[in-house]
Amino acid sequence: MGLILREKAEYLGTFRWLEIFLMETLARWVPTTPEMEVKVLMGRHIWDAAQHADALGKRTFELRAPLHYTLSPLTPYFELMKELAAVEDTPGRIQVIYDVLLPALTARYQEYLDGSDSLLDEPSYRVIHGILGDYARMRQENDALRKELKDMLVFDASRAEEWRRKEAEIGEIVPRGSGATLAVGAHA
Amino acid sequence: MQGIQLCADPAREACFRVAQSDSEMQVFEDSMSEAARRERLHRHMNNEMGALEIAAQCLVDFPDAPWDLRMQLARQASDESRHVAGLYRRLRQLGGRKGEFPIGNFEWAVTNMCDTLAARLAIQNRTFEAGQMDLLGALRKIWRSMGDETTVEVLEHILADEINHVRFANRWIRTMVQEDRRLLLKVASAVRFLAETNTALSAASNGAPSDAAKKHTDLGINIEDRRHADFNEEEINEILRQAGMSTFVAAEGRG
């Protein structure tokens, strides 16, 4: 991929948008999801997403973009996120976060790492490795919850598979070339 | 409810019976019987769930709030989640279960009627959570006197977290009001709305003060932790006066 400095800030700014989207989606679902244990899981992960957004936002500043530079993803991805955020049933919401978004974002972060330099861009690597470690823990916590609630919640695997397919079909998600000009007007 | 418009309840599982007034909550003659202890934990667990939902809803409703404040709200959501889980674990250890007793969502219903973040912080964090600091300060001693150190440990950790929630709210309310003096009116009208709602609900219970309010007055004010939470001396004295502890104000003043 071979990203230049400005593109790295754009990637991280887009990831920051996605982490805030994750935080706000979980926050929106907490009061509207009936199951107490699921509220607890989502409530704990709101803080994880917020910390990820914070770390990414500080890193964008170090890459000569504004502090907490945030870029909305390209339209197809943005629309998919809106579709996923509209899911109303509890099993569907769990699948959206833990079976679709976290694995998808893991792959997207890995793509960034593959296109960067672990020495010159080490601070970004550290931020992203921290996020990927958190994702692994969040998914383990979700697995434990699903075991605990196995008699209460019924999951439709084909639905998650369809969402994953849609996500994977979208290649580019980062607005390229927006760079410093767009960065000036962006806000946290 | 009683001529006052409140926010609709958040989602709850079918096992929970949601009370609309104090009179629908379960009370026990022996307030520390085994069942009464479980009821305390069950009620507290649901209150923490409400606090989680209120913090989460603030993140949704105020996307343009300063990022550092949003971080605090996200952290609070996580803390309240742990409180729910810790209380639920203890409830089950004592033989209880979800839905064993009625629950009430009064804090959610009142707080979410406020249309500014400053007012919600004033109601939820600075009033309800600060009140909980007072209750926890005293309840720890009661549970300890019963020899239940496990529950005391749960409450100790919750209290420590709540102090942080009240402190960040106190600080941010001051900052926001300094930046926009009109918010002071919003905060004042939110506090008045809370008082009117309490009065209306009291009237519905034949004029008696609500069960929670009475318990609160009986248990006293947690002055030390209110100081930790950034209440100034003038504010603490005012709270003591409102709780009918003017003598204590004078004693504090002398100390």
* Domain positions in chain B: 18-250
CB-CB under 8 Å, B60 with A27: yes
Q: Specify the pLDDT at position B245.
A: 59
CB contact under 8 A, A31 and B10: yes
**Would you call B81 and A40 a contact, using CB atoms and an 8 Å cutoff?**
yes
Over 50: is that where the pLDDT of A181 sits? no
Nearest CA in chain B to A51: B71
CA R_g for chain B:
18
Q: What is the pLDDT of residue B242?
A: 75
Count of CB contacts below 8 A, A vs B?
A: 84
For residue A2, the model assigns a pLDDT of: 78
Give pLDDT tens digits for B57-95.
999 999 999 999 999 999 999 999 999 999 999 999 999
Q: How confident is the model at residue B183 (pLDDT cuts 50, 70, 90)?
A: very high
The answer to whether A57 and A69 are in contact (CB under 8 A) is: yes
- Mean per-residue pLDDT for A146-157? 96
Confidence band for B253, pLDDT divided at 50, 70 and 90:
very low
Q: How far is CA A89 from CA A35, A36, A85, B24, B84, in A?
A: 11, 14, 11, 30, 22
Residue-level pLDDT at B31: 87
CATH number of the domain within which A48 lies: 1.20.1260.10
Compare all CA atoms of chain A with the CA of B48 and give the residue at the minimum distance. A40
Average pLDDT (B27-52) is: 95
Of B13, B75, B82, the CB nearest to A36: B13
Q: So what's the pLDDT on residue B255?
A: 37
| Spatial CB neighbours of A142, under 8 Å, sequence gap ≥ 6 | A41, A94, A97, A98
Question: Which has the minimum average pLDDT: A133-147, B90-104, B220-234?
Answer: B220-234
C-alpha B62/C-alpha B72 separation (Å) is: 13
pLDDT of the residue at A149: 96
Contact B49 A36 (CB under 8 A): yes
Tell if the pTM clears 0.90, that is, is over it. Answer: yes
pLDDT digits (tens, 9 = 90+) for A26-85: 999 999 999 999 999 999 999 999 999 999 999 999 999 999 999 999 999 999 999 999
Give the residue carrying structure tokens 């006293």.
B220
- Give residue A116's pLDDT: 93
Quick one: B18-250 is in which CATH superfamily?
Answer: Ferritin, core subunit, four-helix bundle (1.20.1260.10)
Asked if B13 and A39 come within 8 Å (Cβ–Cβ), the reply is no
H helices present in chain B, as ranges: 34-61, 67-93, 106-111, 117-120, 130-145, 149-179, 182-204, 211-219, 223-228, 233-242, 246-254
Range of the domain at A52: 5-185
Contact A30 B77 (CB under 8 A): yes
A32: closest chain B residue by CA:
B11
Supply the pLDDT for residue B246. Answer: 56
% of chain B at pLDDT higher than 90: 69
Pick from A40, A42, A93 the residue to mutate for testing the B interface (most B CBs within 10 Å): A40
- The whole-number pLDDT of residue B160 equals 96
Q: Are the C-beta atoms of residues B95 and B37 closer than 8 Å to each other?
A: no
* CB < 8 Å to A57, chain B: 67
Judged by phi (left if over 0) then psi (alpha if -120 to 50, else beta), residue B203 lies in alpha
| Element holding A53 (H helix, E strand) | helix A36-62
Q: Which residues of A touch B59 (CB under 8 A)?
A: 23-24, 27, 46
Average pLDDT, chain A: 93
pLDDT greater than 60 at residue B163? yes
Q: pLDDT band at residue A20, thresholds of 50, 70 and 90?
A: very high
Contact B59 A24 (CB under 8 A): yes
**Number of separate domains in chain A:** 1
As given in the structure block, the two tokens for residue B141 are 């001693």
